[in-house]
Amino acid sequence: MHQHHHINYVEFHTRDIAANRKFFEAVFSWSFTEYGPDYLAFKGSGIEGGFFKSDKHNDAKNGGALVVILSDDLEASQQAVESNGGKVIVPIFSFPGGRRFHFSDPNNNEWAVWSLVDDGTH
């Protein structure tokens, strides 16, 4: 359901569309639709979006937005990231209400994965 003024779609730079497809299918089970050689749309991530051919990348140190993915098993998600070509750039750390780590995808875009801490109040 589309809602007025809600974030509806996000797009990310990628040098290698095929590498990003393989990575996000394997790690997060996203599905994809190709729109020519320079664009790949994704679904199954919580919000729809796409990867477009570009030599640039997104990371927090350069002022880019950080996209954070929810996980029910943070350690398993980290293992999947690492075993599929992603690089952990900030190890797992705790913060009030949760834990998370940051990683770069095969095209050096920075992402984070987090999990809730069950303190018994939910």
Q: Is the full-model pTM beyond 0.75?
A: yes
Cα 65 to Cα 22, 86, 110, distances in angstroms: 23, 18, 9
pLDDT in tens, 52-83: 999 999 888 888 899 999 999 999 999 999 99
Is 122 part of a structural domain of the chain? no
Reading the block at residue 61, the tokens are: 């140190």
Q: Which residue has the higher pLDDT, 17 or 120?
A: 17
Is the pLDDT confidence value at 121 over 70? no
Residue 91 belongs to a domain: yes
Residue 85 CB-density burial (10 A; 0-12 exposed, 13-18 middle, 19+ buried): middle
Say yes or no to pLDDT of 118 above 90. Answer: no
Instruction: Note whether residue 4 is domain-resident.
Output: no
The CATH number linked to 18 is 3.10.180.10
Structural domain including 103 reads 9-116
pLDDT digits (tens, 9 = 90+) for 5-39: 898 999 999 999 999 999 999 999 999 999 999 99
Q: Is 3 domain-assigned?
A: no
Domain count along the chain: 1
In the structure, how many helices (H) and strands (E) does the chain have?
Answer: 2, 8
pLDDT tops 50 at residue 47 = yes
Q: How confident is the model at residue 122 (pLDDT cuts 50, 70, 90)?
A: very low
